[in-house]
């Protein structure tokens, strides 16, 4: 299938992003950017527990995600009448190699939400947790990433440089 306008089709092909599978786990990859979506079952009563905890979980998101430092985007959804939970993330780099580190760094944050909610989740430090995440992950059928060759750390540095340059220019003028 091609676009009826050849000029637009040429742009489509020119802007097509190279997509690959994560080399060490589920999810697609464009440049440095990877995606993961995990869909699990919710335990009976888990919906109520989830709603009790989610406010504080949201408050702490900036702190814990800054410690991880490689996540561009992260969401948690409770859906299907409190029977299913979905966790999604867009992040930098490979999947499996950093899973241990993520669990070590942000384990307390996940443990403040998931026990008693997500079926199969005991605590972040359980050996079965990495397997649970891996087994319940779904690879995207389509994926787009803006500026895929720049990591979250690169963007943070560019922000600092941008601010500094603007300061210099504003001062000079």
Partner 1 sequence: MPDTLSGPDVALELDDIQGTVLRGRPNPYFGAYLIFEVEDPTQSLILLERLLPHLTSAADWQAPAENAWINVVFSHEGLRRLGLDPDILAAFPLEVQQGMAARSEFLGDVGRSAPSEWVMPHALKGFHIALHVMAGSPELREAKLAVGHAALSDLPGLKLIYRLDVGMPPTKREHFGFVDGLTRPFIVGQGGEPLPGQTVSPPGEFVLGYHNAKGEISAGAGPSEFWRNGTYVSLRMIYQDVALFRRFLRDNSDDEYAQELLAAQMMGRWRSGCPMHHSPDRDQPELAKDPLKNNDFLYYDSDPQGRITPLGSHIRRANPRDGLKDSISDVDLHVLLRRGSAYGPVLPEGQLEDDGVDRGLVLAVINAFPARQFEFVQSQWINNGDFIAQGDRTDPIIGRRDRADDFLVYQPHRHRVCGLAEFTTLRGGEHLFLPGLSGLRWLLDHLRQRQPETAPLKQD
Q: Which residues bind partner 1 (CB under 8 A)?
A: 23-24, 32, 67-70, 92-94, 96-98, 100-102, 104-105, 125, 127, 149, 151, 153-154, 157
Is the torsion defined by CA of 146, 150, 136, 65 positive or negative?
negative
In the complex with partner 1, the residue whose CB is nearer, 2 or 163, is 163
Residue 32 or 117: the one with the smaller Cβ distance to partner 1 is: 32
Of the two residues 29 and 42, which places its CB atom closer to partner 1 in the complex? Answer: 29
CB of 136 to partner 1, least distance (A): 18
Residue 147 structure tokens? 């500026």
Q: Which is nearer to partner 1, 114 or 152 (CB)?
A: 152
CB of 72 to partner 1, least distance (A): 13
CA–centroid distance for 55 within its chain: 19
- Look up residue 75 and give its two tokens: 């969401």
CB atoms under 10 Å from CB of 148, counted, come to 19
Nearest to 15, CA basis, from 32, 29, 30: 30
> Shortest distance, CB of residue 71 to partner 1, whole angstroms?
9
Find the shortest distance in angstroms from Cβ 157 to partner 1.
6
Give the contacts of 157 (CB within 8 A, at least 6 positions apart): none
User: What's the DSSP call for residue 123?
Assistant: -
């Amino acid at each position: 299938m091609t676009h009826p306008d050849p000029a637009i089709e040429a742009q489509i092909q020119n802007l097509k992003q190279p997509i690959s599978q994560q080399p060490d786990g589920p999810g697609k990859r464009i440049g440095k950017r990877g995606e993961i979506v995990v869909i699990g079952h919710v335990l009976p009563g888990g919906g109520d527990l989830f709603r009790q905890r989610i406010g504080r979980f949201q408050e702490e998101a900036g702190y814990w995600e800054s410690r991880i430092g490689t996540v561009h985007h992260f969401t948690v959804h409770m859906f299907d009448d409190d029977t299913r939970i979905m966790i999604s993330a867009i992040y930098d780099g490979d999947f499996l190699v950093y899973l241990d580190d993520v669990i070590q760094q942000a384990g307390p944050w996940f443990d403040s939400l998931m026990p008693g909610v997500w079926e199969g989740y005991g605590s972040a430090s359980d050996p079965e947790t990495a397997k649970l995440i891996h087994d319940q992950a779904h690879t995207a059928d389509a994926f787009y990433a803006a500026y895929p060759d720049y990591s979250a750390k690169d963007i943070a540095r560019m922000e600092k440089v941008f601010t500094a340059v603007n300061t210099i220019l504003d001062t000079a003028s």
